[in-house]
Amino acid sequence: MDLTLHVWRQKHGKAEGGFVTYEARSISPDMSFLEMLDVVNEGLVSRGQEPIAFDHDCREGICGTCGMVINGVPHGPRRATTACQLHMRSFRHGDEITIEPWRAKAFPILKDLIVDRSAFDRIIEAGGYTSCSVGSAPDGNAIPVPKENADLAMDAAACIGCGACVAACPNASAMLFVSAKAAHLNLLPQGRPEKESRVLNMVEAMDAAGFGTCTNHRECEAVCPKEISIAFIARLNRDFLKAVFSSGRRQAKAGGASAG
Ligand code: SF4
Ligand code: FES
């Protein structure tokens, strides 16, 4: 396949960026999208030009680093698929493909397609942990957990922290990410003692990072490579309001969503 790429190039966060057009020649349909970029980069390097900077690590859909907007859609055209798991057979010979970084105030561009997602790390530092010892696997298995809760916690834990939900949201809201990270701990007995403070602290960190509010567009759910449901946003809102009333620690603000 031969393709024409329009790639966002930006030397650093303060530099002006813009689209640069590249031809990608003899691309195998069996290559992943990132392998296609590798081929383009090899060509750039061999011509003495700077390669396109993009984030990646596992290349198997589990680390969440490979975020990029492909033809206007975070992670590209295939549902429930990260950019690294997207294969070139999803495109056709002669296609033009536009590739951009996540666009969100809380994810400033570092270079080309790479953004700074440390705002997510700060949200996790605020509450995405349990302080109690959970022991080893046999200890965990000895604690009865209702099947429904175990399944829901597992669904929430599938979030890989990629940030596509933020990139897709017209408000750049991080509610899908925060709700999944809070739920996967809050639903389990080991996470329950810190549930209130976890919810309050994570929402506070989310607001402080500059993410927008959720207004139920559901774009986050549509692009999430792990198909995290917005029902978790409704759960977070319920937990957040309960925590606000019982703690009296802060006033509910528009940072929460009204999903569900
Ligand atoms: S909720 Fe989905 S889209 Fe958002 S960070 Fe987690 S895996 Fe990525
Ligand atoms: S490189 Fe790890 S999820 Fe894509």
- Predicted pLDDT at 55: 98
Span 193-228, pLDDT tens digits: 999 999 999 999 999 999 999 999 999 999 999 999
How many CB atoms are closer than 10 A to CB 224?
Answer: 25
Query: Other C-beta atoms within 10 Å of 21: how many?
Result: 10
CB burial of 166-188 (b: ≥16 within 10 Å; e: otherwise) equals bbbbebbbbbbbbbbbbbbbbbb
Distance 29 CA to ligand 1 centre (A): 27
Q: Fill in the DSSP letter of residue 84.
A: G
pLDDT value at residue 22: 98
> For ligand 1, is residue 160 a contact (CB within 6 Å)?
yes
Residue 258 banded pLDDT, cuts 50, 70, 90: very low
The mean per-residue pLDDT over the stretch 174-199 comes to 96
pLDDT(257) > 50: no
Number of the ligand closest to the Cα of 33: 2
Residue 253: predicted pLDDT: 52
Ligand 2 centroid to 83 CA: how many Å? Answer: 7
Helices 175-186 and 118-127 pack at an angle, to 10 degrees, of 30
**Which pLDDT band, with edges at 50, 70 and 90, does 250 fall under?**
low
Residue with the smallest CA separation from ligand 2 atom 3 is 61
In this structure, of 10-19, 26-35, 241-250, the range with the lowest mean pLDDT score is 241-250
- Ligand 2 centroid to Cα of residue 84, in Å, is 5
- Per the DSSP assignment, residues forming a β-bridge with 24 are 3
Ligand 1 site, residue 104, Cβ cutoff 6 A: no
Index of the ligand 2 atom closest to the CA of residue 64: 3
Q: Is the CB of 236 under 6 A from ligand 1?
A: no
